[in-house]
Amino acid sequence: MPEYVLAFKPAVDGYGVHDPSAVIFHDRELIFGIEEERLNRRKTAPNCFPIQAIRACLDHCDIEMEDVDKILLPYRPELKLLQPLSSSGQIETGVEVLNFVDTIQATPLIQRALGGRIGSKAQIERRLRDEFGSPLPPVEEHSHHACHAASAFHPSGFHQALVVTLDGKGEYDSTVIWRGTSRGIDRIKTYPAENSLGRFYGVITNYLGYRAFNGEGKVMGLAPYGSENKSIESKLRSIVDTGVDYDVTLLTGEGTIDHGVSVLEDLFGKKRSRGEEFTDFHKDLAFVTQKLLEETVTDIVRTYTDEFGLHDVALAGGVALNCKMNKQVMEMDCVDNLFIQPVSSDAGLAVGAGMLRYRPSSVPDMSTVYWGPDFSNESIAEILDRNKIDYTKPDNLEARVAERIADGALVGWFQGRLEMGPRALGNRSILADPRTESSRENVNKYVKHREGWRPFAPSMLAEAAEEYLQHAEESPYMIKTFETIPEKRDEIMGVLHPGDDTTRPQTVRESQNPRYHRLLSEFERQTGVPVLLNTSFNDHGEPIVTTPQEAIKDFYGMGLDVLVLEDYLLEK
Ligand SMILES: [Fe+2]
């Protein structure tokens, strides 16, 4: 009998503080998933219970909570008790004490005491009962990093692999090395929460004037504008060790970002304030930080692929969103194949929690992140009519849109099911001509309302990837960076990183997204270039749009020229 399994990531009651989400599996297949931020419209939805995301999962399946067979939570608050043992080096993997924790958990008195102190399943169950009534399906918890690891290994298609999960902090761990086999995932080594690569990058992000756990992508984007700087590098190396035995605890050990920033201020002087012009020092610090991260992660991968004789590698956790770092891993001689879970942030923990329930070989290979809601033409027409908005329904929509983009128009492109994860992949995208640098400037200035130096990435026909990318391979999720072919750079100036001419593409096959593939083909027919500038459909600091109403509001509130809503076209 096929079962419904609901997995969700709370951001309350000791279960973390950001990126709540929910996904639902039917008969082992993930059939719907969404971040709470896409529904409550607060970026990363801090301190939220994902009530709307859970409801959306049930509504999609047209079921009630009582029809769900199992609920999975991607966090075990009681494992926080391991932190002192982990940080003092008394446990190597954490596995040896998990059984002990399971035993004491079985004691109701201790369970109550723990629940009061560090959060517990009982509090989550109470919230669910308040919202959905009784009885509830059984609720099961899995550790944070095990869920990240399963999200990377189980859908990778690998028979066995080295799995590395990297983030700010799980219950007591920050980086974990796993071995994935047909039996599942085994924890090999645990780096304690105090020694965190995610927090290391977060401290630098805050020092450079952005919010930690939010602006890391901007620092990564800034890095190629900087260059080698021996003075900065030797100072930073005086307080951090890199490589497989990395140690960044002087910056991350106190557990607060502010502490790490004060250490940097002692080292380098006052931090950059928001809005202050970036100096060469700031750019070089970003460059050096990126270099030390890459040096560390590649050494970890080299060490453990060698130790276990594995050549396939899977990554997850927030640090795996660093697509420049991913490029370095991808290019290592010891790595044959690299899979990165595209929903690598904590929103993807729910994905992994669900997959952890099944044998890896029975989980389908990852083929999509189009897991959110879609909207019919009828419902969109009704909204447009009700708001007295003029629109057309062109016979060849893709040809018309390609023509407008080639003419310099900035296009809001809304079709199909919402993407889960940080990247818009042609269903909630803003599109522009990739051929000119002015496209990048225009999208930054008129649409995204952000700094002009921020780079953009392309979507391209998968069939044409080899023409533009060195060592081209399928990259459907915009999570890997590539060198570009020098002779072709002129054609895609708007989607190269100006600092190093690299690019972070989405390759598109017809089977993955037929309408988007048609649009790219049409743009190629008209211009000779099978590429588009693709950025997420949202204004600065907001979550990606979910509904047609949000897209329409942004169309009029941003400098977009054209809006496509399924079969309909709106033009200013
Ligand atoms: Fe995480």
Of 312, 340, 368, the position where a domain reaches its end is: 340
Backbone phi, psi, residue 62, to 5°:
55, 50
pLDDT number for residue 107? 54
Residue 424 corresponds to which tokens in the numbers above?
């818009």
Q: How far is the CA of 361 from the centre of ligand 1 (A)?
A: 24
Domain stop point among 282, 312, 340: 340
Q: State the pTM of this model.
A: 0.94
Cα 566 to ligand 1 centroid, rounded to whole Å: 35
* Dihedral sign, Cα of residue 331, residue 220, residue 540, residue 406: negative
Examine the domain organization and report whether 134 and 231 are in the same domain.
no
In a domain, 495, yes or no: yes
Distance 165 CA to ligand 1 centre (A): 8
Identify the CATH number of the domain in which residue 282 sits.
3.30.420.40
Tell whether 309 and 381 lie within a shared domain.
Answer: no
CATH number for the domain that contains residue 510: 3.90.870.20
Structure confidence by residue, pLDDT tens digits, 9-29: 999 988 888 999 999 999 899
Token representation of residue 326 = 């991913």
Q: Which two tokens stand for residue 309?
A: 């004789």
Ligand 1 geometric centre to CA of 246 (Å): 19
Distance from the CA of 145 to the center of ligand 1, in angstroms? 7
> Is the domain of 523 the same as that of 402?
yes
Residue range 485-489: mean pLDDT, rounded? 97
Q: How far is the CA of 166 from the centre of ligand 1 (A)?
A: 7
Cα 19 to middle of ligand 1, angstroms: 10
User: In the listed set 92, 126, 155, which residue is the last one of a domain according to the structure?
Assistant: 155
316 CA → ligand 1 middle, Å: 8
Q: How far is the CA of 152 from the centre of ligand 1 (A)?
A: 12
Spacing, Cα 482 to ligand 1 middle (Å): 26
Distance of CA 342 to the CA centre of its chain: 6
Please check whether residue 165 lies inside any domain of the structure.
no
The DSSP call for residue 27 is T
Question: Ligand 1 centroid vs 215 CA: distance in angstroms?
Answer: 16
Q: What is the pLDDT of residue 106?
A: 47
Q: Is residue 93 part of a domain?
A: no
Cα 239 to middle of ligand 1, angstroms: 25
d(CA 237, CA 381): 59
**What is the arithmetic mean of pLDDT over 348-362?**
96
d(C-alpha 253, C-alpha 34), whole Å: 33
Give the amino acid at 482.
F
Mean pLDDT across 484-510: 97
Buried b (16+ CB within 10 A) or exposed e, 223-261: bbbbeebeebbeebeebbebebebbbbbbbbeeebeebb
pLDDT band of 111, cuts 50, 70, 90: low
How far away, in angstroms, is 108 Cα from ligand 1 center?
29
Domain assignment present for residue 175? The answer is: no
Query: 453 and 326 in one domain?
Result: no
Q: Are residues 382 and 335 in the same domain?
A: no
Checking if the pLDDT of 529 tops 50, the result is yes
How far does the centroid of ligand 1 lie from the alpha carbon of residue 216, in Å? 15
Tell whether 334 and 381 lie within a shared domain. Answer: no
Range of 260's domain?
A: 197-340
What's the 171 CA to ligand 1 centre distance in angstroms? 9
Cα of 342 to ligand 1 centre, how many Å?
Answer: 13
CA 220–ligand 1 middle distance (angstroms): 19
- Examine residue 110 and state whether it is found in any structural domain, yes or no: yes
Give 349 Cα–ligand 1 centroid separation in angstroms: 7
* C-alpha 317 to ligand 1 mean position (Å): 5
Beta bridge partners of 380: none
Does some domain include residue 151?
yes
Predicted pLDDT at 81: 77
**Is residue 257 domain-shared with residue 400, that is, in the same domain?**
no
Question: Residue 135: is the preceding peptide bond cis (ω within 30°)?
Answer: yes
* Phi/psi-derived region of residue 360, left when phi > 0, alpha when psi is between -120 and 50, beta in every other case: alpha
Amino acid code (one letter) for 567? D
Does one domain contain both 9 and 115?
Answer: yes
State what percent of residues in the chain have pLDDT above 90: 87
207 inside domain: yes
pLDDT per position as a tens digit, 217-260: 999 999 999 999 999 999 999 999 999 999 999 999 987 999 99
Distance 227 CA to ligand 1 centre (A): 30
Give pLDDT, residue 502: 97
CB 287 within 8 A of CB 224: yes
Label each residue of 474-485 as H, E or C: CCCCCCCCEEEC
Structural domain count of the chain: 3
Q: From the CA of 71, how far away is ligand 1's center (Å)?
A: 19
Q: Same domain for 62 and 144?
A: yes
Residues 412 and 555 in one domain: yes
Shared-domain flag, residues 205 and 130: no
Average pLDDT, integer, range 523-547: 96
Q: Is residue 526 part of a domain?
A: yes
Q: How confident is the model at residue 77 (pLDDT cuts 50, 70, 90)?
A: confident
Task: Mark whether 265 and 387 lie in a shared domain.
Answer: no
DSSP H or E run through 200:
helix 197-207
- Contact, 423 vs 429, CB < 8 A? no
Give mean pLDDT, residues 162-187: 95
